Every structure is written in C-alpha cells, then in structure tokens.
Amino acid sequence: MEDILSMKGKVALVTGAGQNVGRQIAMHLAAHGADGVVVNDYFLDRAQAVADEINAQGGKAIALQADVSSHDSVKAMFARAFEKYGRVDVLVNNAGNAGATPNDDARKPFYETGPEVWKTWIGVNFDGVINCTAAALPGMIERKTGKIVTIISDASRFGDAGMEVYAGAKAGAAGFMRSVARGMGRYNINANSIVIAAMGTPMIEARLAENPERAKKILEKYIIRRLGRPSDVANMALYLSSPASDYITGQTYPVNGGFTFAL
C-alpha cells in the first residue's frame, strides 16, 4: 500500500529540533523517507544528537546551528543546507521561546519591563518565523512547490495572563502564515499553523509532580485529560508536510486535547 504520508523526494528543515516537539517532528519526517532532514537548534550539540539518532536508524540528517532570531544566522544556515541538499522543500518553524531568560525582569508584568525583555519572545517566536520563511521561499517559488508549517500556542488564541508579549508574537506568526498562504498559493506553496497547549516535557512534568493539586486543576481544562506529547504534534506536522495535505493551506489546526476549539 502506498504511504500517503511519504516524504520521499523531499528535504525538510526543522528549527528548534534539538529536543521535545522539534526532535519528534524531525524523527517523523526522516522515518517517512525524507531525502534529508536538516536538524536546527541554537545549541549544536543538541541538534547533532538528534541528527545522529536519525542516521543511526537509517534516515538521512545533518545538524546545523543557527539563531533563528538573527536574519544573517538564518541565511547562513540555509546556505549550508542548500550546499548539502540543493534545496529545502519543507520548512517547519518549530523554534519557540516561552520566556526562558536569565533576566529576572521577565517575571514581572510586561508593562513594568521593556524591549530588552520583550525581544526574548518576539525574536524567536515571530522574527524567527519571518527570517526562516523568507530564506525558504525563493527556492520554493522557483520549484513551484513547498510546505511551510509553523508551531504556535493556544496563548495566541485564548490569551494567557502574564504571557502577553509571547501570546502576541505567536498570534503574529499565525497571521503571517495566513498571509503567506494567500500570496504563495499560485506557486503551489502551502502554509499552515499548528496550535499546541501545554506539552508534557520533562521540565513541565517535573513541576506538576511537585504540586499534584495544581496538576489536577490544569488537566481539568483539557477534554482529553493529559498533557500533549511530542508525537501528537509530530503526527500533524508530518501530515501538513506531506502530499496528503496538498489542498490545505492558510489553516490553523489545534493539537491540544480540546483545550480550545478550531471554530
């Protein structure tokens, strides 16, 4: 039986793929036969570990370091990807930052902070999507085919007190994807977003284990009473990257256990 999710003949680049959701997306794309997967991360050792894992399982991958918030860094990464594979057919904008920063000011209400703190969220979650998409599009336009998938957050639709700038950046990324879809459809380029809620990463699982009562209250907000798994998101990312989704563009798909609905 034909694999409708086959990635054969495609080269994919996944940002922030050194761990968690990004790692699983890269693994999924490679497992479905991608000609090559570019595993990007800010930390090269994390990206290399994932690329090594893919290659050990019979896939094809390389690791490339880049800071997606830097236009020059992204251009250099894509140049190296083109040098290796000659093209990028699929871009998954997964790199995100929910506020990890050494600056204690990030814990204050946003109106008591300033641009030095705000850029922590905007640089990766919004600028990073623009930088990578801009680098990927010329080649896709030339070949008249391409898939762009951007991972956003339920904070962008539902709102999240204390995460105003992060939520705004993610909402901006979703709006950007819709506009890219409208502008690039004539080149057979699809652009879609995936909305995720709280993920069961090791860090979050550890925090919830410390406070079972808080964990219970959080899980009660989900129709499916568990946190998301990286594989949940990777399944949708694979679908939107594959030929199976050729007639889908400009859409935002929640993969969030029913935390929010699409309509």
pLDDT in tens, 195-223: 998 877 777 777 777 777 776 777 777 77
Beta-strand pair 189-196/252-255: parallel
Helices 164-184 & 115-122, crossing angle to 10 degrees?
40
Mean pLDDT of the chain: 90
Q: What pLDDT band is residue 263 in, cutting at 50, 70 and 90?
A: low
For residue 103, is pLDDT > 70? no
Report the range of poorest mean pLDDT among 81-85, 142-146, 193-197: 193-197
Q: In 144-254, which ranges are continuous DSSP H helix?
A: 155-158, 164-184, 202-210, 212-219, 230-241
For residue 101, is pLDDT > 50? no
Best mean pLDDT range from 4-13, 92-101, 253-262: 4-13
Report the range of poorest mean pLDDT among 6-15, 177-186, 197-206: 197-206
Q: What is the pLDDT of residue 206?
A: 73
Entry pTM? 0.92
For residue 157, is pLDDT > 70? yes
Q: What is the pLDDT of residue 218?
A: 73
For CA atoms 258, 97, 43, 88, the dihedral sign is positive
Q: What pLDDT band is residue 105 in, cutting at 50, 70 and 90?
A: low
Give dist(CA 40, CA 63) in Å, integer: 6
Active site residues: 166
Say which CATH architecture domain 11-199+229-254 belongs to.
3-Layer(aba) Sandwich (3.40)
Residue 77 CB-half CA count within 13 A: 34
- Of the two residues 99 and 15, the one the predictor is more confident about is 15
Contacts of 156 (CB under 8 A, 6+ apart): 167, 168, 170, 171, 173, 174, 195
